[in-house]
Amino acid sequence: MPETRMRKRPHRGLKIHNDLTSRKPWPKLGLPRFSRRILRYWFFAVPLALVLVTYLLIFRDLPSPTSLGKYDIPLATKIYDRNGVLLYDIYADQNRTPVVLGDIPLTVQQSTIAIEDKNFYKHQGINPVGGILRAFIASVTRHKLQGGSTITQQLVKSALLTPERSITRKIKEIVLAFWVEILYSKEKILEMYLNQVPYGGTAWGIETAAEKYFGKNVKDLNLAEAALLAGLPQAPTLYSPFGAHPELAIARQHEVLRRMVEDGYISAEEAEAAKNSQLSFVRQQNIKAPHFVMYVEEQLVSMYGARTVERDGLKVITTLDLNLQEYAQATVAAEVSKLKNLRVANGAALITKPATGEILAMVGSRDYFASPSGNYNVTTALRQPGSSIKPINYAIGIEKKIVTPATMFLDIPTCFDVPGQKKYCPKNYDGKFHGPVQLRFALGNSFNIPAVKMLYLNTVSDMIASASAFGLTTLKDPSRYGLSLTLGGGEVRMVDMATAFSAFPNGGIRKNLTPILKVVDKNGKVIHELKDPNADKEIPSQLLISGERVISPETAFLISHILLDNNARSQAFGPSSSLVIRGHAVSVKTGTTDDYKDNWTLGFTPQYLVAAWVGNNDGTPMNPALVSGVTGAAPIWNKLMAHVLEGKPDIWPKQPEGIVGASVCSVTGQMPPESGSEGQEAAGCATRYEYFIKGTVPRTQETAVRQAILIDKATGREAAPGQTENVEPQEKLVLKDALSTWCVDCAQPPEEGISPAPAPQ
């Protein structure tokens, strides 16, 4: 063998060893042999793991699209009153009648595509830019999956998947949408969608929807009817013409018609004709307390989703007392029928337990089944509250300790400078001015000028912020409102007003309204329950109310006491008005808007809260010559409050330890003067007793002082602003409040003077 083949190769390890030993050794670095092998084969391990996880999360339980069109039998959700009386079954129609696409009018198909998926015939099941990307961004930025679903995805969602909102379920939806597009034609997908999608309540599928809402077959639907039905699937409960917000159904119909015009399906003239077309709905009669039931259904859908509510057999025990509900319904109908000469067509009422927020009765209109707008639910609609919002304004001022129940306001003509607008010069309901009036009587008699001054001192911004804390969620942007806010210049909901007023009988703690006591699933498991220790208690002394504190117990007591003081309101309402409940101390406030579109009465005891309203759904004004604070809603309120308090103990607001009493001057609201105090004595200081928060009892101050006033020598009255001729200074007794002054012993009555005030803040 040649020498070259016999030569041994040097041992490389020896050389490395020698190199290493010739230097200071380094610590041994590296991973265990097993880990190095894993890293070496990572490109095999990671994909395998991903495949395994994907299978477990996505494909293991993935339903087959071949089951589309095989309709399962749903279980009805049953809604009961608090005593177990069945109010309504919410269920999907088990006897639905599928129809082929050829029997569905083209207007139904086009309106559905226009509002739900304009690119239906162009995509392959998903819309990656307009849909998936938007849903992904929404889920990342707001932690909530949103729309963007195609018709194919919606079909998959409603027919094959469970309603939970998760990334995993969204991926399943996308996979199935691709699969469905491979298996079926576009026409078949649209047909299955129209036969499968929920249209609200018992209506699953377009044929059932046509029968439920219009009493006709789908082939007989006109454009206006088709557009309304096409708008329902996105939110069947919200957009239902029979639901809590029927006006939203019409707004949604108009949106569908607009989209159809944009996509070239119809002309603008055809859309306008459809908008003006009179819709004739078929009313359901097999329902008790319909406005309340629709309100409950809306709450349930927000909690569990429409599919669960309409198909999964929930048992819902509500807070409603059906006997009380029927009495309230009959009372509203009877009293509204007496108001025809007042141009009043509708009424509403709400009865709650303020300690728990339970809704005992909800009458949304005079007659739910009346045509055309009986299903309009005033208790959840936006209306202006008039002066009924004043207690919140005064409560803010008392809470901030800038006023007390004895604070004197000058009820005289007062104009406020409004930047960029003409002066705001409020007037009283009776067209008169009442001179010096203390807060107790200003609120009790609902005088407007003191209330506007109170809001000026509070500021509109603070009023809006505090209104939100009270639960008036619709009052948000201070820049939208002025000082007329305290006279009802903002829109609120009756359910929110009941929430806000609950803070007064609850010692300052707000209780949000709830219509549901318990929800039980089809397996008998309780999935929701009102766990309020006061739910079964009627004696307020036993109540331990917890919740969000809005005002102090002292402020709540003072407002409650003022509103139950019949003497404090007698100047405006008389001693024996509809605001008096014989044998019971009841706090109550009325409200009538300046335009006579809304008339309210809200009142409460520690046991019950009752709200009533009359007016017209379309905002048509009532007869201003006849409607007053006690002729519209007050008789309804009186009958309902007297009914719920019948046989109940008379319970006054509990006086907190932080409340003290003191005698004050009946004009100035200050402490009685010492002997020889000419200003106070001249103003008159017969005393009366008043309650105060500790530390706010007024001192003897000079709110009535003598000062030089320019007097017109020809008339003996105070000179006009800017008058310089034929005047002379005379010392007169003058009253002052935070914004105005008034000459007491001038010949001039208060209604003939204008006292300028600063611009509103």
pLDDT of residue 628: 67
- Most confident of the ranges 119-133, 280-294, 398-412, 689-703: 398-412
- What's the whole-number mean pLDDT along residues 26-46? 52
Say whether pLDDT at 70 is over 90. Answer: no
Residues 753 and 617 reside in one and the same domain? no
The region of weakest confidence among 91-100, 203-212, 351-360 is 91-100
Q: Flag whether 45 is in a domain.
A: yes
Residues belonging to the chain: 761
Say whether pLDDT at 206 is over 80. Answer: yes
Opening angle at CA 696, ends 761 and 433, nearest 5: 55
At 145, the pLDDT band (50, 70, 90 cuts) reads very low
- Nearest partner of 223 among 273, 283, 151, judged by Cα: 273
Q: Flag whether 27 is in a domain.
A: no
pLDDT over 70, % of the chain: 78
Radius of gyration over alpha carbons of the chain, in Å? 36
Angstrom distances, CA of residue 363 to CA of 82, 230, 240, 284: 17, 30, 19, 17
The region of weakest confidence among 9-23, 542-556, 713-727 is 9-23
Residues 210 and 147 reside in one and the same domain? yes
Amino acid at site 644: V
- What's the whole-number mean pLDDT along residues 104-121? 93
Residues 143 and 176 reside in one and the same domain? yes
- Nearest partner of 373 among 200, 240, 247, 288, judged by Cα: 247
At 394, the pLDDT band (50, 70, 90 cuts) reads very high
d(CA 661, CA 638): 31
Q: Flag whether 379 is in a domain.
A: yes
pLDDT of residue 26: 43
CATH of residue 508's domain is 3.40.710.10
At 37, the pLDDT band (50, 70, 90 cuts) reads low
> pLDDT, tens digit, for every residue of 585-595?
999 999 998 88
- What's the whole-number mean pLDDT along residues 250-265? 95
d(CA 641, CA 493): 20
Q: What's the whole-number average pLDDT of the chain?
A: 83
User: How many structural domains does the chain have?
Assistant: 5
Q: Flag whether 404 is in a domain.
A: no
- Most confident of the ranges 299-313, 319-333, 627-641, 721-735: 319-333
Name the pairing type of β-strands 509-510 and 609-615. Answer: unpaired
* Count of beta carbons in the 10 Å neighbourhood of residue 389: 29
d(CA 430, CA 446): 10
Q: Flag whether 699 is in a domain.
A: no
**H/E element, 330:** helix 322-337
pLDDT of residue 630: 76
Peptide bond into 621 cis (omega under 30): no
Residues 292 and 231 reside in one and the same domain? yes
At 9, the pLDDT band (50, 70, 90 cuts) reads very low
Higher pLDDT, 72 or 234: 234
At 11, the pLDDT band (50, 70, 90 cuts) reads very low
The region of weakest confidence among 107-116, 118-127, 359-368, 740-749 is 740-749
* Ranges assigned E (strand) in 531-639: 548-549, 587-592, 598-604, 609-615
Amino acid at site 365: S
Q: Flag whether 540 is in a domain.
A: yes
Q: Please, are residues 237 and 199 in contact by the beta-carbon 8 Å criterion?
A: no
Residues 123 and 269 reside in one and the same domain? yes
Higher pLDDT, 72 or 377: 377
Say whether pLDDT at 328 is over 60. Answer: yes
* Count of beta carbons in the 10 Å neighbourhood of residue 548: 13
Residues 246 and 283 reside in one and the same domain? yes
Say whether pLDDT at 526 is over 70. Answer: yes
- What's the whole-number mean pLDDT along residues 293-306? 91
Say whether pLDDT at 410 is over 90. Answer: yes
Residues 44 and 168 reside in one and the same domain? no
Residues 523 and 643 reside in one and the same domain? yes
Angstrom distances, CA of residue 503 to CA of 39, 199, 471, 561: 65, 39, 10, 13
DSSP assignment of 344-412, as one string? --EEEEEEEETTTTEEEEEE-SS-TTSTTTTT--GGGS-B--GGGGHHHHHHHHHHTTS--TT-EEEES
pLDDT over 90, % of the chain: 48
- Most confident of the ranges 244-248, 401-405, 732-736: 401-405
d(CA 351, CA 336): 18
- What's the whole-number mean pLDDT along residues 309-337? 94
- What's the whole-number mean pLDDT along residues 624-647? 87
At 33, the pLDDT band (50, 70, 90 cuts) reads low
- What's the whole-number mean pLDDT along residues 254-260? 96
> pLDDT, tens digit, for every residue of 599-616?
999 999 999 999 999 999
> pLDDT, tens digit, for every residue of 689-748?
999 999 999 987 666 667 777 888 787 777 777 788 888 888 777 888 888 888 777 755
pLDDT of residue 673: 72
Domain carrying residue 50: 34-61
Tell me the CA end-to-end span of the chain in Å, nearest whole number. Answer: 111
Q: Please, are residues 436 and 410 in contact by the beta-carbon 8 Å criterion?
A: yes
At 52, the pLDDT band (50, 70, 90 cuts) reads low
pLDDT of residue 701: 62
d(CA 716, CA 285): 73
**H/E element, 336:** helix 322-337
Strand order, beta sheet including 704-712:
704-712, 727-736, 741-743
d(CA 695, CA 659): 9
Say whether pLDDT at 389 is over 90. Answer: yes
Q: Flag whether 313 is in a domain.
A: no
Residues 517 and 603 reside in one and the same domain? yes
pLDDT of residue 35: 56
Say whether pLDDT at 466 is over 60. Answer: yes
Residues 506 and 370 reside in one and the same domain? yes
Q: Pick from 243, 271, 300: which residue ends a domain?
A: 300
pLDDT of residue 760: 45
- What's the whole-number mean pLDDT along residues 501-527? 95
Amino acid at site 379: T
Plot region of 164 (φ>0 → left; ψ -120 to 50 → alpha; else → beta): beta
* Coil, helix or strand at residue 537: coil
> pLDDT, tens digit, for every residue of 472-513?
999 999 989 999 999 999 999 999 999 999 999 999 999 999
Largest CA distance in the chain: 150
Q: Which two tokens stand for residue 481?
A: 């409102």
* Count of beta carbons in the 10 Å neighbourhood of residue 285: 7
Question: Which distant-in-sequence residues (6+ apart) come within 8 Å of 529 by Cβ?
Answer: 517, 518, 519
d(CA 77, CA 516): 14
d(CA 174, CA 74): 25
Q: Flag whether 128 is in a domain.
A: yes
Angstrom distances, CA of residue 756 to CA of 101, 284, 467, 738: 72, 59, 28, 12
Please list the helix, strand and coil fractions of the chain in percent, rounded to the nearest 5, in that order.
Answer: 40, 15, 45
> pLDDT, tens digit, for every residue of 639-695?
999 999 999 999 999 999 999 999 999 888 988 876 544 544 444 578 899 999 999
Residues 666 and 650 reside in one and the same domain? no
Higher pLDDT, 72 or 547: 547
DSSP assignment of 67-119, as one string? GTT-PPPPB-EEEE-TTS-EEEEE---TT-----GGGS-HHHHHHHHHHH-TT
pLDDT of residue 374: 77
Residues 87 and 193 reside in one and the same domain? yes
Q: Which two tokens stand for residue 622?
A: 């009532």
